[in-house]
Amino acid sequence: MTMSKTESQENKREDMPVLSVCDVMRDNTNQVIMKVESLLPSFIESFANIQEEYLRIARDFFGTCYIAEKELLDKMGVDHKAIEGFDKYLKVWTKYTILDIDMANNFQKTFVTNTISGMKTYDNYVKLMLAEYAKMLEYTSALIPKKS
């Protein structure tokens, strides 16, 4: 007794677990989220490495600067008061740069807070719509006669 091709396909379908659209979307979305989450430490480490290299270069630069300054400024006879004026100028510039950094940091914190708030609002809305959708499906399902 041999099975026809359609009977064989029907048996294969019965063996397969029922797949829902929600399962397909959830599983694939989870794969993407997990990939992004797995890269986050690497992303942070990369920026930390850039910052570390930047600071190393800056330190080296200022180490070389001392040697050049001693030779050049002594030969030129630069007045110490000029260096003090330059120091005052850079202190003001540094103060405003730090204020800008703090402002950017506060902006980022506010951005994250507002983004999360928006996401939670969206989540609440989706849950409300899904609850209504479930009611509609239940109502519609009751109107459709069962297959025999």
Task: Tell me if 69 sits within 8 A of 62, measured CB to CB.
Answer: no
> What pLDDT sits at residue 124?
97
pTM of the model: 0.57
Q: What is the pLDDT along the chain (148 residues), one digit of tens a residue?
A: 555 666 666 666 667 778 888 899 999 999 999 999 999 999 999 999 999 999 999 888 887 777 778 778 778 888 889 889 999 999 999 999 999 999 999 999 999 999 999 999 999 999 999 999 999 999 998 888 887 6
Give the span between the Cα atoms of 97 and 63, in whole angstroms.
23
Give the span between the Cα atoms of 73 and 107, in whole angstroms.
42
> What pLDDT sits at residue 12?
62
> What pLDDT sits at residue 7?
62
CB atoms within 10 A of CB 78: 13
> What pLDDT sits at residue 13?
60
**Radius of gyration, alpha carbons of the chain:** 33
Q: Where are the domains of the chain?
A: 19-78, 79-148
> What pLDDT sits at residue 74?
79
Residue 129 to residues 27, 123, 137, 142, Cα–Cα distance (Å): 21, 10, 12, 20
> What pLDDT sits at residue 4?
62
